[in-house]
Structure 1
Amino acid sequence: MAKLLKISNIGFRAEYFSLLLAVLFAVVYNQSLWLGIYNAQTNLSLHTLLFLISCAFFITATNNFLFNLFAYKHIQKLALIIIVLCSAAASYFMDVYNILLDSSMLQNVFQTDYAEARDLLTFSFLTHMFIWGVLPSCVIFKINIKYRPVHKQILANTLSMTSSLIVVALIALMFYQDYASLLRNNRELRYLINPVNYISASKSLLEEQWKSAAQPIQSISQGVSKGPTWLTKNKRTVFIFVVGETARAQEFHLNGYSKQTTPELEKRDILNFSDVSSCGTATAVSLPCMFSKFGRDNYTDKKGRQYESLLDVISDAGMSVSWRDNNSGCKGVCDRVDNLKISHLEFASFCNKNECFDEALLQGLDDVLASTQNDLFIVLHQKGSHGPAYFERVPSSFEQFKPACKTKQLQDCSVDEITNAYDNTILYTDFVLSKIIDYLKSKSLTNDTAMIYASDHGESLGEKNMFLHGAPYFMAPKEQTHIPMIFWISESFENEFGIDRSCLDKKTSHKYSHDNLFHSILGGLDIYTDAYKPELDIFRSCKVKNIVAN
Structure 2
Amino acid sequence: MIKYMSCFKNLKLSTNQLLFFTCCYIALILNLPFLIKSATVITALDHYNLFFLVSLPIFLLALTIIIQGLFSFRWLTKPLLIATVICSALIFYGTISYGIVFDYGMVQNTLETDTAEAWSYINFHAIIFFIFFGLIPSFIIYSVQLTYKPFFKELLSRLKIFSVSLATVLLIGVFFYSNYAAVGRNNKNLITYITPYKMVVSSFKFVRNHYFYPPLEFKVLDTAPSIVRDSQKKHVTVMVLGETARAQSFSLNGYSKRTNPYTEKQGVVSFSNMSSCGTATAVSVPCMFSRLNKAGYDKRVAMAQQNAVDLIHLAGADVLWISNNNGSCKGVCTRVKTQQIDTKKSNPLCDGEYCYDEALLAPLKNKLNRLTHENTMIVLHMIGSHGPTYFKRYPKDKRVFIPDCQRSDIQNCTQEQLINSYDNTIAYTDLVLSKIINELNQVADKNDIETSLLYISDHGESLGENGLYLHGLPYAFAPEEQTHVPMIYWNDPMQNDFDLNCLKTSAKSPITHDNVFDTLLSIMSVRTKAYNIDNDPFIQCKSQGAIARTTITEEKTMEIQD
TM-score range, shorter chain: over 0.9
Q: 1:482 corresponds to which residue?
A: 484
| 2:525 counterpart letter in structure 1 | D
Structure 1 Cα separation of the partners of residues 44 and 532 of structure 2: 51
Please say if residues 224 and 527 of structure 1, whose CA atoms lie closer than 8 Å, have aligned partners that are also in contact: no
Aligned to 2:260: 262
Aligned counterparts, 1:498-537, within 5 A:
498-537=497-536
Once the 2 structures are TM-superposed, how far is the Cα of residue 224 of structure 1 from its aligned partner?
Answer: 3.4
The 2-side partners of 1:152 and 1:302 are apart by 49
The Cα shift of 1:387 comes to 1.3
Q: Hey, what does 1:548 align to over in structure 2?
A: 551
Measured at CA, do residues 46 and 296 of structure 1 come closer, stay the same or move farther in structure 2, by a change above 3 Å? closer
In structure 2, C-alpha distance between the alignment counterparts of 1:313 and 1:83, rounded to whole Å: 46
Higher alpha-carbon deviation: 311-320 or 498-507: 498-507
**1:253 touches 1:262 (CA, 8 Å); kept in 2?**
yes
State the alpha-carbon separation in 2 of the partners of residues 280 and 102 from structure 1. 13
The superposition leaves residues 321-364 of structure 1 with CA deviations (integer Å, 9 ceiling, x where unpaired) of 21111112111112222222212344612123542100001112
Alignment of 1:85-234 (within 5 A): 85-147=86-148, 156-212=157-213, 214-216=214-216, 218-229=218-229, 232-234=230-232
> In the aligned structure 1, how far is the partner of 2:513 from the partner of 2:150?
58
Distance 1:505 1:332, change over 3 A: same
1:531 and 1:19, CA in 2 relative to 1: closer, same or farther beyond 3 A? farther
Decide whether the 8 Å contact of 2:101 with 2:474 is kept in 1: yes
The 3 A distance-change label for structure 1 pair 488 and 466 is: same
The alignment yields a C-alpha RMSD, in angstroms, of 2.2
The alpha carbon displacement at 1:435 in A equals: 0.6
In structure 2, relative to structure 1, the CA distance for the partners of 1:354 and 1:458 (3 Å cut) is same
Match of 1:341 in 2: 340
Instruction: Give the equivalent residue in structure 1 for 2:416.
Output: 416
Q: Tell me which amino acid in the other structure corresponds to 2:60.
A: I
Contact 2:281-2:459 at 8 Å conserved across structures: yes
- The separation in 2 between residues aligned to 1:342 and 1:264, in whole angstroms, is 24
Q: Which stretch of structure 1 is more off in the superposition, 159-168 or 83-92?
A: 159-168
Say which is worse superposed, 355-364 or 36-45, in terms of deviation. 36-45
The one-letter amino acid of 2:479's match is P
Say whether the 8 Å CA contact 1:247–1:458 is kept in structure 2: yes
| Matching residue within 451, 469, 473 for 1:467 | 469
Q: Distance in 2 between matches of 1:207 and 1:220?
A: 26
**C-alpha distance 528-152 of structure 1, shift in aligned 2 (>3 A):** farther
Residue identity opposite 1:244 in structure 2: G
Q: Is the 8 A contact 2:274 2:511 kept in 1?
A: yes
2:285 aligns with 287
- Is contact 1:216-1:306 (8 Å) kept? yes
* Correspondences of 1:310-459 after superposition (within 5 Å): 310-327=308-325, 328-346=327-345, 348-352=347-351, 354-370=353-369, 373-374=372-373, 375-445=375-445, 446=447, 447-459=449-461
1:273 corresponding residue in structure 2? 271
Q: Please list the CA deviations of residues 413-466 of structure 1 after superposition, one character each: whole Å capped at 9, or x if unmatched.
A: 111111111111111011011111111111114322111001001111111111
Instruction: Report the alpha carbon displacement of residue 83 of structure 1 after superposing the two structures with TM.
Output: 1.5
Which residue type is aligned with residue 251 of structure 1?
S
Report the 3-state secondary structure (helix = DSSP H, G, I; strand = E; otherwise coil) of the residue aligned with 1:276: strand
In 2: Cα distance, 1:160 partner to 1:206 partner: 32
Alignment CA distance shift 1:47-1:287 (3 Å): closer
Matches within 5 A, 1:28-107: 28-42=29-43, 48-107=49-108
Counterpart-to-counterpart distance in 2, 1:338 and 1:43: 55
Count the aligned residue pairs. 544
Letter in 2 for 1:30: N
| CA contact 1:54–1:171 (8 Å) conserved in 2 | yes
1:20-73 Cα shifts (integer Å, max 9, x gaps):
211111221012112212221336999644223211111111111111122123
The answer on whether the counterparts of 1:419 and 1:461 sit within 8 Å (CA) in structure 2 is yes
Contact kept in structure 1, 2:344 and 2:351, CA below 8 Å: no
In structure 2, distance between residues paired with 1:154 and 1:434: 70
SS of aligned partner of 1:405: coil
**1:492, CA displacement in angstroms?**
2.8
Contact kept in structure 2, 1:459 and 1:469, CA below 8 Å: yes
| 8 Å CA contact retained: 1:458, 1:482 | yes
Percent identity between the aligned chains?
36
CA distance in structure 2 between the partners assigned to 1:211 and 1:535 by the alignment: 37
> Whole-Å Cα distance in 2 between the matches of residues 144 and 233 of structure 1?
82
Query: What 5-or-longer segments of structure 2 have no aligned partner?
Result: 554-562
CA separation in 1, counterparts of 2:511 and 2:457? 13
Deviates more, 1:100-109 or 1:348-357: 348-357
More divergent stretch after superposition (121-130 vs 78-87): 78-87
- How far apart, CA to CA, are the structure 1 residues paired with 2:232 and 2:64? 68
- Whether the 8 Å contact between 1:72 and 1:147 is mirrored in structure 2 is no
Task: Identify the range of structure 1 (171-180 vs 126-135) with the bigger mean alpha-carbon deviation.
Answer: 171-180
Give 1:150 deviation, angstroms.
5.7
Contact 1:228–1:548 under 8 Å retained in 2: no
The one of 246, 251, 254 equivalent to 1:253 is: 251
TM-score scaled by structure 2? 0.91
Deviations 1:345-388 (A, max 9, x none): 44612123542100001112233245551232111111111111
1:131 Cα deviation (Å)?
Answer: 1.1
Tell me the distance in 2 between the aligned counterparts of 1:284 and 1:458: 13
Q: Give the letter for the 1:82 counterpart.
A: A
Q: Aligned equivalents of 1:65 and 1:46: distance in 2?
A: 31
Name the CA distance, whole Å, in 1 between partners of 2:530 and 2:306: 11
CA distance in 1, matches of 2:22, 2:265: 61
Tell me, in whole angstroms, the C-alpha distance in 1 between the residues paired with 2:361 and 2:256. 29
- How big is the shift at 1:246? 0.8
Q: Distance in 2 between matches of 1:314 and 1:148?
A: 69
Task: Please identify, of 275-284 and 403-412, the stretch whose mean Cα deviation from structure 2 is larger.
Answer: 403-412
TM-score, length of structure 1 as denominator length: 0.93
Matched residue type, 1:367: N
Quote the Cα distance in structure 1 between the aligned partners of 2:138 and 2:323: 39
Amino acid at match of 2:24: V
Question: Contact 1:106–1:198 (CA<8 Å) still a contact in 2?
Answer: yes
Q: CA deviation at 1:241?
A: 0.8
Further displaced range: 415-424 or 170-179: 170-179
3-state SS of 1:444 partner: helix
How far is 1:91 from its partner?
Answer: 0.2
User: C-alpha distance in 1, partners of 2:218/2:423?
Assistant: 41
Structure 1 Cα separation of the partners of residues 118 and 409 of structure 2 = 13
- Which AA in structure 2 matches 1:257? Y
Summarize deviations over 1:155-174 as a string: whole Å, max 9, x none.
65455444433322211211
Partner of 2:558: none
Q: CA deviation at 1:147?
A: 4.2
- Cα distance between partner residues in 2 of 1:43 and 1:286: 34
Post-superposition CA distance 1:167-216 (Å, at most 9, x none): 2221121112222232233222111111112112212222222354x314
CA distance in 1 between counterparts of 2:340 and 2:529 reads: 32
